[in-house]
Structure 1
Amino acid sequence: MSGIIKIAIVGPESTGKSTMSAYLANHYHTVWVPEYAREYCDALTEPPTWQDEINMFHGQIALENSLIPQANKILICDTTFITVKIWSDQMFGKAPQVVIDELSQHHYDYYLLLNIDLPWEDDPLRDFPNMREHFMQVWHKELQALNAPYIVISGIGDERYQSAVKAIDNFLKDHTI
């Protein structure tokens, strides 16, 4: 796995993470890891349980690991399992211990935290349209707790994409690939 730089695209709901991930993977001629929880939750007939959160954690890591060999120097990750921690904290008051234990062990080289400046788009898998500011603060707190290198990406349309490319290009200048 060495030699691959992992870029995580994170943020609250409806900030364009999947669209940004696809764009960046195309721009850098590499692959991107979709959000495992989206497909998992789409198949559920009831709200996610504690075990579902653990399953999504394991599924996200397995999906990421399966795509690393296809990456061209950079792997773009549409969210990370930190989302499982954030959702578990919100829904259950705590996160599964396996997730907490893995947080400091599972490394991402750089995070793009997508700002909440995009309009909310309804989606059956989105739950908190009125809590975007809260979750933006939670993301800052979680990334800071990990001492993770990150930058906030703002803007609409092409401006947002170009800000992300510029941030990654600046990061790559200091990191050999």
Structure 2
Amino acid sequence: MNKLIKKIAIVGPESTGKSTISILLAQHYKVSWVPEYARYYCENLVAPYTLQDEINMYYGQLALEDAILVTSEKKFIICDTTFVTVKIWSDEMLGETPQIVLDALPKRPYDFYLLMDIDLPWQDDPLRDFPDKREYFMDVWHKELKALNANYKVISGLGDERIKNAIAAVDEFLSK
């Protein structure tokens, strides 16, 4: 894995435009992006998910990320979410986080996070669960990022304003 390549993570509560922003940023900067593994995994679940499913999603997200890192020839990649999401969902839905995830949090940092704000209207999706808990999850994301001492910026705005704000934040990060 190439540790010289910076990882910029797009994170936040449900229905905040993470995937859209990830793709648009990757296109804008002409860099690779890592899709959200959990989406593909959950689309194929036929029973309520378990702690083992969370572990599987953790491994899947890292495998996708590592595959992109070893093939990228750019200075950075865009990650549509991170395995921090596994921690947040495990805590919320199952009351605990797999130890492997807790152990990896300080060992696999991301260089910069864009925390998507909850100012976008909710969009229904079969894989989304909590339209009424967006503020709660925004607070959880702040707490988790602060616990990691993460370098992050909240990205707000509707329509083109959101991607312009994200590009400005990435440009500022890259200029340092």
Q: Could you tell me the TM-score, scaled by structure 2's length? A: 0.97
Unpaired runs of at least 5, structure 2: none
Matched position secondary structure for 2:126: coil
Q: Distance in 1 between matches of 2:124 and 2:71?
A: 33
CA contact (8 A) 1:36 1:60 kept: yes
Q: Deviations over 1:72-95 (max 9, x none)?
A: 211100000000000000011110
Q: Distance in 2 between matches of 1:158 and 1:69?
A: 32
In structure 1, give the amino acid aligned to 2:170: I
Q: Could you say which residue in structure 2 is the equivalent of 1:161?
A: 163
Q: Distance in 2 between matches of 1:47 and 1:134?
A: 23
Q: Distance in 2 between matches of 1:149 and 1:170?
A: 12
Could you tell me the percent identity over the aligned residues?
63
Q: Deviations over 1:33-92 (max 9, x none)?
A: 000000000010112111000000010001100011333211100000000000000011
Q: Deviations over 1:82-134 (max 9, x none)?
A: 00000000011110000000000001000000000000000000000000000
**Stretches of 4+ aligned residues off by more than 4 angstroms:** none
Matched position secondary structure for 2:107: coil
How many residue pairs end up in the alignment?
A: 174
Q: Could you say which residue in structure 2 is the equivalent of 1:29?
A: 30
Q: Could you say which residue in structure 1 is the equivalent of 2:110?
A: 108
Residue 92, structure 1, aligned to residue 90, structure 2: no
Unpaired runs of at least 5, structure 1: none
Q: Could you say which residue in structure 2 is the equivalent of 1:63?
A: 64
Cα RMSD for the two superposed structures: 0.7
Q: Distance in 2 between matches of 1:2 and 1:81?
A: 18
Q: Could you tell me the TM-score, scaled by structure 1's length? A: 0.97
